Structure 1
Amino acid sequence: MLFTLITGLCEAIIMLVYSALGIEGTLSAGYAALLDATLLALLSFYPLCRFVFAPLFLEHKQLQNTEQIMISAFNSTQEGMLITDSNSTIIYVNSAFTEISGYSAADAIGKKPNILSSGRQSRAFYQQMWGELLEKGHWKGKLWNRRKTGEIYHEGIQITRIYGHFDEDYFIAVFSDISEQDELEASLAEARKMEALATLVGGVAHNFNNYLAGIMGRVFLAKKADSLPKVAKQLEAIEQAGRSATALVSELMVFSRDVSLDESHCDLAKIVKRATKTARLVLPETIKLKLDIADTPLPIFGNKSQIEQIILNMINNAHDACMQQEGVSPLIHIEAGRRQWNQCKDKFACTKRNECPLCYETGVFFSISDNGQGIPEDIIAKIFEPFFTTKEPGQGTGLGLSTAYQAVNRHGGMMLVDSSETEGSTFTVCLPLDESYTANTKEQAHIPMQGKGEKILLVDDEDAVREVTAEALRGYNYRVVTAANGAQALEAFASHRDDLAIVISDVVMPKMNGDIAVAKMRSEKPGLPVIFTSGYSDISPPDEDCTQFIRKPFSPPELSTHIHQLLSRCRTTTDQAMQPSN
Structure 2
Amino acid sequence: PITYKDDPLGILAVDNIKSKKPLLQRDLNVMMGITMQIGAKIHSVQIESHLRQSQKMEAMGNLASGIAHDFNNILSTILGYSQIIGMKLPANDPIRKMAEEIHHAGIKASNLTKQLLAFSRKQVTEMKVTSLNIIIEDMAKMLGRLISEDISLEIFPAKEIGNIMADTGQIEQIIMNLVVNARDAMPAGGHLIIETGEIFLDEKYAETHENVAPGSYVMLTVTDTGKGVPKAIREKIFEPFFTTKELGKGTGLGLFTVFGIVKQHKGHIYVYSEPDQGTTFKIYLPVVEGPIDEIASSRKRKMPGGAETILVVDDDPSIRKLIVDTLEPLGYRLIEAGCGREALDRCRATKEKIDLVLTDVIMPGMNGLKLIETIKIDRPEIKAILMSGYTDNVVTHHGVLKPGIIFMNKPLLPIAMANKIREVLDNKPATT
Q: TM-score, normalised by structure 1?
A: 0.48
Confirm or deny: 8 A CA contact 1:272 1:311 kept in the other structure.
no
Distance 2:68 2:299 in 1: 24
Distance in 2, Cα, partners of 1:509 & 1:409: 26
Indicate conservation of the 8 Å contact 2:182/2:192, yes or no: no
Compared CA separation, residues 330 and 231, structure 1 to 2 (3 A): farther
What are the Cα deviations for residues 151-178 of structure 1, in whole angstroms up to 9, with x where unaligned?
xxxxxxxxxxxxxxxxxxxxxxxx9585
Q: Summarize deviations over 1:227-247 as a string: whole Å, max 9, x none.
A: 344554554454445445445
| 1:491 maps to which of 333, 345, 370 | 345
How far off is 1:448 after superposition?
A: 3.6
CA 447–317 in structure 1, closer or farther in 2 if over 3 Å, else same: closer
Instruction: Answer 1 or 2: higher relative contact order, Cα 8 Å, separation at least 6.
Output: 2
2:113 counterpart residue number? 249
CA contact (8 A) 1:213 1:555 kept: yes
Q: Deviations over 1:287-341 (max 9, x none)?
A: 9455689xxxxxx984224422332234314533x36xxxxx3335578xxxxxx
Which residue identity does 2:371 align to in structure 1?
A
Quick one: distance in 1 between partners of 2:282 and 2:325? 48
**Which residue pairs with 1:476 in the alignment?**
330
Q: Gaps (5+ residues) in structure 2?
A: 4-10, 21-36, 156-163, 201-218, 241-254
| Alignment correspondent of 1:532 | 386
Partner of 2:316: 462
Q: Which one has the bigger helix percentage?
A: 1
Partners in 1 of 2:90 and 2:136 — Cα distance?
33
Query: Does the aligned pair in 2 maintain the 1:456–1:504 contact within 8 Å?
Result: yes
Corresponding letter in the other structure for 1:309: I
CA positional deviation for 1:527? 1.3
1:269-280 equivalence runs, <5 A: 271=139
Question: Is 1:307 aligned to 2:172, yes or no?
Answer: yes
Partner of 2:416: 558
Residues 105 and 401 (structure 1 numbering): CA distance in 2 closer, same or farther, change over 3 Å?
farther
The one-character-per-residue Cα deviations of 1:464-523 (angstroms, maximum 9, x if unpaired) are 211111100112221222111112212322333414332211121013323333333332
> 1:532, CA displacement in angstroms?
1.8
**Alpha-carbon distance in structure 1 between the residues aligned to 2:15 and 2:333:** 88
Secondary structure of 2:233's aligned partner: coil
Q: Which amino acid aligns with 1:538?
A: N
Taking a change above 3 Å as real, the CA distance of residues 498 and 185 of structure 1, as seen in their structure-2 partners, is same
In the superposition, relative to structure 1, how do residues 103 and 512 fare at CA in structure 2: closer, same or farther (>3 Å)? same
Counting matched residue pairs gives 350
Cα offset, 1:200, TM superposition: 1.7
CA shift digits 1:337-370 (9 cap, x unpaired): xxxxxxxxxxxxx896999xxxxxxxxx998664
For 1:565, the aligned partner's letter is E
Who is 1:514 aligned against?
Answer: 368
Looking at structure 2, the residues matched to 554 and 472 of structure 1 have their Cα atoms a distance apart, in angstroms, of: 10
CA distance in 1, matches of 2:312, 2:345: 13
TM-score, normalised relative to structure 2: 0.62
**Equivalent pair of 1:455/1:480 in contact (CA under 8 Å):** yes
SS in 2 for 1:493: helix
d(CA) in 2 for partners of 1:334, 1:351: 10
CA contact (8 A) 1:275 1:311 kept: yes
**Contact in 2 for aligned 1:205/1:252 (Cα 8 Å):** yes
Between the aligned partners of 2:421 and 2:153, the Cα distance in structure 1 is: 43
Across the aligned residues of Structure 1 and Structure 2, the Cα RMSD in angstroms comes to 5.1
| Structure 1 residues 534-561: Cα deviation after superposition (integer angstroms, max 9, x where no partner) | 222223344244x322232332222222
Cα pair 1:319 1:332 within 8 Å, conserved:
no
Structure 2 partner of 1:390: 231
- 1:538 aligned counterpart, secondary structure: helix
Distance 1:191 1:274, change over 3 A: same
Q: Distance between the aligned counterparts of 2:274 and 2:118, measured in 1?
A: 34
Q: Give the direction of change, closer, same or farther, for the CA distance of 1:492–1:201 in structure 2 (3 Å limit).
A: same
Over the matched positions of the two proteins, sequence identity in percent amounts to: 23
Q: Structure 1 unaligned runs (5+)?
A: 1-76, 79-98, 110-174, 294-299, 324-328, 336-349, 356-364, 376-388, 571-582
Over 3 Å counting, the alpha-carbon distance change for 1:405 and 1:484 in structure 2 is closer
Shift of 1:107: 5.9
Q: Which of the pair has more CA radius of gyration?
A: 1
Deviation (angstroms), 1:459: 0.7
- Report the alpha carbon displacement of residue 445 of structure 1 after superposing the two structures with TM: 0.2
Separation of aligned partners in 1, 2:349 and 2:199: 68
Measured at CA, do residues 271 and 487 of structure 1 come closer, stay the same or move farther in structure 2, by a change above 3 Å? farther
Asked if the contact 2:383/2:424 (under 8 Å) is kept, the reply is: yes
1:104 pairs, out of 4, 12, 15, with: 15
AA at the equivalent of 1:467: K
AA partner of residue 190 (structure 1): Q
Matches within 5 A, 1:127-526: 180-229=43-92, 230-257=94-121, 261-263=125-127, 271=139, 288-289=150-151, 302-320=167-185, 322=186, 329-331=188-190, 333=192, 370-372=224-226, 390-392=231-233, 395-397=236-238, 400=255, 407=262, 443-526=297-380
Task: Give secondary structure in 2 for the equivalent of 1:569.
Answer: coil
C-alpha deviation, 1:191, in angstroms: 1.5
Q: What SS does the aligned partner of 2:312 have? A: strand
The answer to whether the 8 A contact 2:222-2:281 is kept is yes
